[in-house]
Amino acid sequence: MAKNKVRRSTQSSEYHAEDYLYSVVWSPDDDAFIGRVLEFGSVAAHGETQEKALREIRSAVRYALEDLEDNSEPAPEPLGRRSYSGTLNLRMPKHLHRQLAIEAAHEGVSLNQWINTKLAAHNRYAPLTAERAG
């Protein structure tokens, strides 16, 4: 099996380092860019540039995947490959529920649609389209 692939023991699909969610930020304390991967919380790497930090963190994930495979341990499922139902049960204070219901009525939409609209307005990763709001 290629070095950048690992087979999860409970799934037949392979995970690659490129399947995971990365972030790279500048760290004044380290005087370097720090790369992190969401699904491997304890793995980090640094670089002089954003590109180098991203290359380094991906390399670290490749090694982590190899280590997991060598020890017959499952790799974390990449968030981008996880299945989501689209249903979420949410608890909130009564006063917030009331305020949202009033706002939804004022806008002439369902409470569900109003909450989706408000969440989408604050989602920095993927803006909500009318088709996805359906």
Helix ranges, the chain (H): 50-70, 94-107, 111-121, 130-133
State the angle between helix axes of 111-121 and 94-107 in degrees (0 to 180), rounded to the nearest 10.
100
Domain count, the chain: 2
113 and 47 co-located in one domain: no
13 and 51 co-located in one domain: yes
Cα distance between residue 58 and residue 44, in whole Å: 9
13 and 44 co-located in one domain: yes
Domain residue limits at 31 = 5-80
The per-residue pLDDT string of the chain (134 residues; one tens digit each, 9 = 90 and over) reads 444 444 444 333 489 999 999 999 999 999 999 999 999 999 999 999 999 999 999 999 999 999 999 999 999 999 988 888 989 899 999 999 999 999 999 999 999 999 999 998 887 665 445 444 44
55 and 68 co-located in one domain: yes
42 and 64 co-located in one domain: yes
Tokens representing 123? 């989602």
Q: Write the CATH number for 67.
A: 3.30.160
44 and 100 co-located in one domain: no
Model confidence, pTM: 0.64
13 and 57 co-located in one domain: yes
